[in-house]
Chain A
Amino acid sequence: GDSVTQMEGPVTLSEEAFLTINCTYTATGYPSLFWYVQYPGEGLQLLLKATKADDKGSNKGFEATYRKETTSFHLEKGSVQVSDSAVYFCALNNNTDKLIFGTGTRLQVFP
């Protein structure tokens, strides 16, 4: 069945460092891909999405490109801030009601 695999965390960075969180997926057809972020004590919220191959989703300085050839949707940010510390979830929807989530990657950014 469909699945999402994320890199293990935590990812620990200094402020202004470059961030990459890897996400790969297994799915038939052409799923939509999402990144959700969960700040401490809050629910998950949509960070960005891409609905077809080669689309780039972007928001708040974060970017991810839908790569069909490598079945990947890696999250990147050029310069992280302490306020970006959160758990990041990669997810896919393959034309159903449900989102299939990865296990989440915790990001810790230190000043």
Chain B
Amino acid sequence: DARVTQTPRHKVTEMGQEVTMRCQPILGHNTVFWYRQTMMQGLELLAYFRNRAPLDDSGMPKDRFSAEMPDATLATLKIQPSEPRDSAVYFCASGLGTITGELFFGEGSRLTVL
């Protein structure tokens, strides 16, 4: 049963620390997305890749966030330095682009910054 895998599932850290979240997309999918979900803002698109190339990171605070795909099986989202306002659930999703239009989501990484 193919699925998107995210690690860690939960992370508690102190303000100023670096946080790295990882995602393994479904094999064969060519698009990968990072979303952030909070009660106040709902679901926000942070960044997305097609064939490992970053296409849109306009939703991401550039000064502290970075997203990369070092290879087709791994996407990373890094926050450095972290701040309490970054506390949220971060979701990774992958898909086949315009072939089907649908996305498959991981279970999320819940980040708490103290």
Contacts and interface: CB of A to CB of B under 8 A. Distances in A.
Interface of A: 32, 34, 42-46, 49, 51, 89, 93, 95-99, 101, 103-104
B101 A93 contact: yes
Nearest to B31: A97
A97 B97 contact: yes
Interface of B: 4, 31, 33, 42-43, 45, 48, 50, 55, 91, 93, 95, 97-98, 101-108
Given A43-B91, A43-B108, A98 B102 contact: no
A95 B43 CA distance: 21
When A and B form their complex, which 7 residue pairs have the shortest distance between CB atoms, in order from nearest? A93-B101, A43-B105, A32-B101, A44-B105, A97-B97, A43-B107, A97-B31
Nearest to B108: A43
A51 B91 CA distance: 25
Given A97-B48, A98-B48, A104-B42, A34 B102 contact: yes
Given A43-B91, A89-B43, A104-B43, A99 B108 contact: no
Count chain B CB atoms within 10 A of each CB in A42, A43, A93, A96 and give the residue with the most: A43
A34 B43 contact: no
Contact of A34 (B91, B97, B101, B106): B101
